[in-house]
């Protein structure tokens, strides 16, 4: 089964929290797929990864860049695992058809949006019923992640 972490955004927007999560994954040698809800959103996240920290570099790409299989981080609005990723990051309330093909999944949701919270609860119940290993992480006031029981 896949280890699924639910990441509850409270204090920073996705565009600021996502690069930090992805940076940790890359440092651990993981390949990542980020699944967003639209091509426009993929473009926004792509720009956010290029500009979040001038002193940092996150190797990533989109279908528009080509060489999908060579991208350490692949941003997409389409199901699939073109870069052989072991980590799937779901944003914008997305769900995965092939969750079991990943070792780990991060389900990142906006805790300031009641609709997003309700949808995350439904995904939690579905993942639990499917037998996945679950963890819940919440941002503290400084934007750091704390695991909750």
The CA-atom distances, in angstroms, between 124 and each of 43, 100, 129, 131 are 28, 15, 9, 11
Rounded-to-integer distance, Cα 56 and Cα 149, Å = 33
Rounded-to-integer distance, Cα 17 and Cα 103, Å = 21
What domains are there in the chain, each with its CATH number? 3-108+129-148 (3.40.50.10110)
% pLDDT > 70, the chain: 100
In this prediction the pTM is 0.96
pLDDT for residue 117: 97
Cβ-contact 65, 126 below 8 angstroms: no
Residue 89's pLDDT band (boundaries 50, 70, 90)?
very high
């Amino acid at each position: 089964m896949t280890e699924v972490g639910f990441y509850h955004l409270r204090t920073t927007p996705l565009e600021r929290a996502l690069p930090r999560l992805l940076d940790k994954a890359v440092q651990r040698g993981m390949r990542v797929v980020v699944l967003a809800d639209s091509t426009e959103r993929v473009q926004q996240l792509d720009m956010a990864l290029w500009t979040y920290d001038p002193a940092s570099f996150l190797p990533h790409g989109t279908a528009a860049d080509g060489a999908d299989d060579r991208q350490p981080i692949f941003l997409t609005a389409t199901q699939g695992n073109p870069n052989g990723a072991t980590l799937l990051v779901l944003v914008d309330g997305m769900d995965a058809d092939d969750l079991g093909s990943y070792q780990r999944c991060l389900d990142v949701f906006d805790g300031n949006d009641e609709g997003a919270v309700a949808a995350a609860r439904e995904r939690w119940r579905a993942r639990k019923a499917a037998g996945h290993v679950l963890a819940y992480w919440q941002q503290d006031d400084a934007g750091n992640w704390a695991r909750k029981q």
